[in-house]
Amino acid sequence: MQTRKLGNQGLEVSALGLGCMGMSFGYGPAGEKSEMIKVIRAAVEQGITFFDTAEVYGPFTNEELVGEALEPFKGKIKIATKFGFKIDRVNMTYGGVNSRPENIRLVAEESLKRLKIDVIDLFYQHRVDPSVPIEDVAGTVKNLIQEGKVKYFGLSEAGANTIRKAHAEQPVTALQSEYSLWTRQHEKEIIPTIQELGIGLVAYSPLGKGFLTGKIDAATTFAVGDIRNVLPRYTEEARNANQSLLDIINRFAQEKNATNAQIALAWVLAQKPWIVPIPGTTKIHRLTENNGAVNIELSADELNEIEIASAQISIVGTRYTEAMEKSTGL
């Protein structure tokens, strides 16, 4: 497995990470714990050193899973987790944001215990809290870094102005945002900003929540509790309309003797040397398939072909509902 540097602060991780959210949260019933532990440990065996979780996934259960699975590999892997939501600890639900300094500190302490680690490798603000100045958020994480509880500071789905303000207070190592062949809005302003500042990009949902693998069509049904049941981009009409993007991916997959997933991931990897996709899966054979993307090279001509062809396609459906854009932890 190749490695990549995320930002200019010294964080080096595997070129592909593993997004662990779907093992516990967001895509229907949680996976059986012992099976999910096998998947996470298989990822380590295949060279993955970067694992992504958050307190809100569950809540709490995903961090506990990741902590148990990775306990034997302390010092050999990097774990990223997140703070910033209001969690109802009685009903185990969440809603709204909370990045007050006292909450950041509480999350850090509790995440350390659930993850069974002495220091959080990468601590993201999960979503921007408009009621707390970003300088206060960055300053709180700066203090946690000085105290040895956190190594690196990250943001998730933040705007360019917020990134600049935070970075001035405490250098931001990585921005985590959705990025794939069909979610590219960050190319206009966000990616140039983080490139200028020396910040890495952790690309979540690089497979379009499964759609870009070619395994989802208009007839696919999702389990109860699967977030895709309510996303505009996954209505039957949208899935039909968006098949044209899959046709492009499939053509290159056939030419490269690869799978659609591998081409979609190879495209993300080819965009910048400081982008690390974190596809999620609950199956070891899919994990192996995804990891094969690091061995696929798309030439400048091939990337240009994909660019020209995909530019002719208008993706139907927004990635989230308007309300979810403001509040989701996904």
Which residues belong to the active site?
A: 57
Single-letter amino acid code for the residue at 188: K
Element (H, E) at 293: none
Element (H, E) at 189: none
Helix axes 260-271, 300-311, angle to 10 degrees: 110
Residue 195 φ/ψ, nearest 5 degrees = -65, -40
| Whole-Å CA distances, 124 to 80, 156, 158, 302 | 7, 6, 11, 34
Q: What share of the chain is helix, strand, coil (3-state, %, to 5)?
A: 45, 20, 35
- Supply 180's token pair: 């794939």
Cα 40 from Cα 22, distance rounded (Å) = 12
Nearest to 245 by CA among 296, 208, 198: 208
Q: What is the DSSP string of 82-144?
A: EE-EEEETTTTEEEEE---HHHHHHHHHHHHHHHT-SSEEEEEESS--TTS-HHHHHHHHHHH
Length of the chain: 330
Asked if 120 contacts 51 with a C-beta cutoff of 8 angstroms, the reply is no
